[in-house]
């Protein structure tokens, strides 16, 4: 194994400090404030009604070539017939550069690879905004960064409006009426019910690639029923849990095309296995019907995915121009690091600059006047933690060694020892020097709405005390090889060896993981890298096949309102590193039960003061108990080529969702005099599902 720069040489156990000497109090320390780092632009805060509304307009328009080549040729109905009764209308006043013009391409570069197009069945398309662009969801969160705080509520999207029953248990949602999938098939409540009943609630399906499509994401005991084609009714055990409206956005309630998927699902097609259902639409299957603005029309393995405009897209501008303005989307299948390089150089158009190792170089090049892209830093919302598998009742089916590790993971003194053996300052500096990284004790990120420093318990770096804590747990080096051993009755008293799962698609993930591995050496713990590419890592993490993992965390740590049910194991499959074991229950530690109670109260409450108070309790419980070992947090920068117009001010790369959602790509455009010649399939539209490509 490669020795990391952090290795201190040998694994000498420091046994000098007796356990008596280290009370919890003595381990805590003053948390330094993050270095000053101002976000480079602020959003213009508006109300939802300033951004969009649903209404019929007197006339509609489309690119001229669509009319002449398709509508006039009789192969496509006129635009007014393709649009819903009341399309979603983006208000001009909220569009920074106003009404746009048609044309051009956004050239994305992504590091992931598509497994196939069955998104709701759990297949990943490779991330980087590709699935965000294909899937439209009941509500929408990304653009909320510009909604006034006191009016914060998910944006309507496929659900154009909703109302609560008087007793607050029922939520009736009205779907957009007369909208169509990109192949012209009607979108209606059948699509929702197929997603809910046969994916979310079918235990054989791990719905959506992140695995968050579980019933409890919407509350234990929640039901959904179709009232008619365009009306559905939710029933909740809680009273008015408006919180679940956030879960109805990306990525947990974005229905798939039931007319194509249903015939492959084992319930409707007994000849198919669940695996066959999941894999029924491989990357080569072109023209997969979507509700998103662009449809996949070309795929070349390890090269590119090309998408063309969806002729049935159901959003327009105030002049009645059918969106999107951009005719084509590219997703170059490369690496995440290459995304930054290409965006800065101008051969790509978009990057979330999130790997701290590339900050300095990217900043330098973007500062030049001739730089093709603008680079804008936001708040510190990128954070990494070391997460331990806390299930001791079989999740992921560990062997004897794995089981012994999980039992250790469940010991507070063990988690504390690991936490204080991490020199966070050095870890952050090893990625990038300067005012970027901040010491991150775990829990909510400093600088976000619900963060409270006074409720944050920080255990600073203290190697000696870390070793003493491990001594206290009876982990001694019985065979003198420099590695502590499990007690004789655990894993046969073998060396304490722990595997660390990390994602090789990102340099930052593996750099941090290597840092952690090296920092565990002086503790006499052998940590073995289990480095996997993104999809394999995700599958292993979701199925509990890991001891430890170093991971970039989700939006719940930033916004709290997004992914709330992932904050604690409120249901059997809602949490990231503690899911139900073989008997279907989660073996909660006492403090986890408290976390669950706090999160459930948060979900059930709409009282701002109470919610803030609850999140203070959450932060305290989390950090005091080292629920996960925070590593570092830092800001990210949005890089977009300068030729694009309508980029909202202050768009963060990650807040309520990734920037690919927040910037609202369907209303971005390129002014005519700046348009490039990048379209690979000019003047074509997507063809038949499964067909060869555009026509």
Q: Return the SS3 of 352.
A: strand
Q: Judged by CB, which is closer to ligand GLA: 127, or 656?
A: 127
Task: Please report how close the Cβ of residue 511 comes to ligand GLA at its closest, in angstroms.
Answer: 15
Which pair of tokens denotes residue 344?
A: 């800065």
Task: Say whether residue 624 binds ligand GLA (CB under 6 A).
Answer: no
Compute the distance between CA of residue 501 and CA of residue 513 in angstroms, rounded to an integer. Answer: 8
Compute the distance between CA of residue 693 and CA of residue 695 in angstroms, rounded to an integer. Answer: 7
Q: Judged by CB, which is closer to ligand GLA: 556, or 587?
A: 556
> What number of chain residues touch ligand GLA (CB under 6 A)?
9
Task: Say whether residue 250 binds ligand GLA (CB under 6 A).
Answer: no
Q: Judged by CB, which is closer to ligand GLA: 128, or 398?
A: 128
Task: Say whether residue 127 binds ligand GLA (CB under 6 A).
Answer: yes
Task: Say whether residue 658 binds ligand GLA (CB under 6 A).
Answer: yes
Compute the distance between CA of residue 423 and CA of residue 8 in angstroms, rounded to an integer. Answer: 12
Task: Please report how close the Cβ of residue 353 comes to ligand GLA at its closest, in angstroms.
Answer: 9
Task: Say whether residue 634 binds ligand GLA (CB under 6 A).
Answer: no
Q: Judged by CB, which is closer to ligand GLA: 127, or 384?
A: 127
- Ramachandran angles phi, psi of 678, nearest 5°: -105, -10
All residues at 6 or more sequence positions from 440 whose CB lies less than 8 Å from its CB, including other chains: 383, 384, 385, 424, 446, 630, 631, 632, 633
Q: Judged by CB, which is closer to ligand GLA: 146, or 210?
A: 210
- Region of 13-21, 128-136, 430-438, 606-614 interacting with ligand GLA (CB under 6 A): 128-136
Compute the distance between CA of residue 249 and CA of residue 38 in angstroms, rounded to an integer. Answer: 29
Compute the distance between CA of residue 302 and CA of residue 548 in angstroms, rounded to an integer. Answer: 30
Which pair of tokens denotes residue 183?
A: 């192949």
Task: Please report how close the Cβ of residue 252 comes to ligand GLA at its closest, in angstroms.
Answer: 14
Compute the distance between CA of residue 420 and CA of residue 422 in angstroms, rounded to an integer. Answer: 5
- Region of 23-31, 124-132, 152-160, 162-170 interacting with ligand GLA (CB under 6 A): 124-132
Task: Say whether residue 352 binds ligand GLA (CB under 6 A).
Answer: yes
Task: Say whether residue 119 binds ligand GLA (CB under 6 A).
Answer: no
Residue 324, preceding bond cis, omega within 30 degrees? Answer: yes
Task: Say whether residue 660 binds ligand GLA (CB under 6 A).
Answer: yes
Q: Judged by CB, which is closer to ligand GLA: 129, or 460?
A: 129
Task: Please report how close the Cβ of residue 636 comes to ligand GLA at its closest, in angstroms.
Answer: 8
All residues at 6 or more sequence positions from 605 whose CB lies less than 8 Å from its CB, including other chains: 611, 614
Task: Say whether residue 509 binds ligand GLA (CB under 6 A).
Answer: no
Among 238, 354, 413, 587, binds ligand GLA (CB under 6 A): 354
- Region of 55-63, 125-133, 179-187, 515-523 interacting with ligand GLA (CB under 6 A): 125-133
Task: Say whether residue 128 binds ligand GLA (CB under 6 A).
Answer: yes
Task: Say whether residue 384 binds ligand GLA (CB under 6 A).
Answer: no
In angstroms, what CA-CA distances link 28 with 333, 417, 419, 694?
A: 46, 12, 11, 61
- Region of 121-129, 173-181, 259-267, 511-519 interacting with ligand GLA (CB under 6 A): 121-129
Q: Among 297, 135, 266, 142, which residue's Cα sits nearest to residue 204?
A: 266
**Given CA atoms 433, 434, 436, 440 in this order, what sign does their dihedral have?**
positive
User: Binding residues for ligand GLA, per CB under 6 A?
Assistant: 127-129, 132, 336, 352, 354, 658, 660
């Amino acid at each position: 194994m490669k020795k990391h720069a952090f290795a201190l040489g040998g694994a000498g156990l420091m046994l000098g400090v007796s356990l008596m000497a280290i009370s919890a109090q003595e381990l805590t320390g003053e948390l330094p404030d993050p270095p000053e780092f101002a976000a480079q632009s602020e959003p213009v805060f508006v109300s939802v009604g300033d951004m969009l509304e649903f209404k019929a307009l007197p006339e509609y328009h489309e690119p001229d070539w669509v009319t002449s080549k398709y509508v006039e040729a009789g192969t496509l109905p006129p635009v007014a017939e393709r649009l819903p009764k009341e399309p979603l209308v983006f208000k001009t006043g909220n569009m920074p550069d106003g009404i746009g013009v048609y044309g051009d391409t956004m050239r994305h570069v992504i590091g992931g690879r598509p497994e196939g197009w069955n998104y709701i069945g759990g297949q990943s398309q490779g991330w980087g905004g590709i699935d965000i662009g294909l899937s439209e969801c009941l509500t929408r969160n990304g653009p909320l960064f510009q909604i006034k705080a006191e009016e914060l509520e998910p944006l309507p999207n496929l659900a154009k409006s909703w109302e609560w029953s008087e007793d607050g248990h029922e939520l009736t949602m009205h779907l957009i009426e007369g909208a169509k999938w990109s192949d012209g098939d009607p979108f209606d409540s059948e699509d929702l019910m197929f997603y809910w009943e046969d994916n979310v609630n079918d235990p054989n399906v791990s719905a959506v690639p992140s695995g968050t499509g579980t019933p409890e994401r919407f509350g234990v005991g929640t039901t959904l029923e179709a009232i008619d084609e365009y009306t559905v009714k939710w029933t909740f055990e809680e009273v008015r849990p408006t919180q679940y409206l956030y879960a109805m956005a990306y990525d947990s309630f974005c229905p798939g095309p039931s007319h194509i998927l249903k015939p492959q699902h084992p319930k409707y097609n007994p000849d198919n296995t669940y695996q066959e259902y999941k894999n029924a639409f491989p990357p080569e299957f072109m023209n997969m019907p979507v509700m998103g603005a662009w449809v996949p029309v070309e795929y070349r393995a390890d090269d590119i995915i090309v998408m063309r405009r969806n002729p049935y897209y159901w959003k327009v501008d105030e002049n009645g121009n059918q969106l999107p303005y951009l005719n084509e989307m590219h997703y170059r299948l490369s690496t995440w690091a290459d995304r930054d390089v290409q965006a800065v150089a101008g051969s790509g158009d978009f990057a979330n600059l999130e790997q701290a190792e590339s900050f300095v170089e990217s900043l330098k090049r973007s500062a030049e006047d001739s730089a093709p892209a603008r680079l804008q830093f936001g708040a510190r919302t990128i954070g990494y933690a070391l997460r331990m598998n806390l299930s001791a009742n079989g999740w992921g089916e560990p062997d004897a060694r794995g089981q012994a590790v999980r039992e250790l993971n469940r010991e507070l003194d063990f988690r504390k020892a690991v936490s204080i053996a991490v020199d966070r300052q050095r870890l952050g500096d090893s990625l990038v020097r300067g005012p970027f990284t901040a010491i991150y004790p775990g829990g909510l990120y400093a600088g976000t709405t619900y963060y409270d420093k006074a409720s944050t318990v920080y255990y600073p770096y203290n190697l000696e005390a870390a070793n003493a804590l491990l001594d206290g747990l009876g982990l001694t080096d019985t065979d003198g090889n420099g590695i502590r051993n499990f007690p004789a009755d655990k894993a046969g008293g073998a060396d304490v060896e722990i595997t660390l799962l990390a994602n090789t698609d990102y340099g930052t993930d593996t750099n941090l993981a290597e840092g952690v591995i090296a920092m565990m050496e002086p503790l006499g713990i052998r940590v073995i890298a289990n480095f996997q590419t993104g999809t394999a890592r995700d599958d292993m993490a979701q199925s509990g096949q890991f001891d430890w993992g170093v991971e970039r965390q989700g939006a719940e740590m930033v916004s709290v309102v997004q992914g709330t049910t992932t904050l604690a194991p409120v249901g059997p499959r809602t949490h990231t590193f503690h899911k139900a074991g073989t008997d279907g229950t989660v073996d909660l530690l006492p403090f986890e039960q408290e976390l669950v109670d706090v999160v459930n109260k948060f979900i059930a409450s709409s009282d701002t003061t109470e919610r803030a108070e609850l999140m203070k309790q959450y932060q305290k419980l989390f950090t005091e108990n080292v629920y996960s070992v925070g590593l570092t947090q830092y800001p990210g920068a949005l890089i977009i080529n300068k030729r694009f117009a309508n980029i909202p001010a202050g768009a963060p790369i990650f807040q309520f969702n990734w920037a690919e959602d927040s910037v609202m790509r369907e209303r971005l455009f390129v002014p005519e005099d700046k348009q490039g010649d990048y379209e690979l399939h000019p003047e074509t539209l997507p063809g038949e599902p499964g067909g060869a490509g555009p026509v």
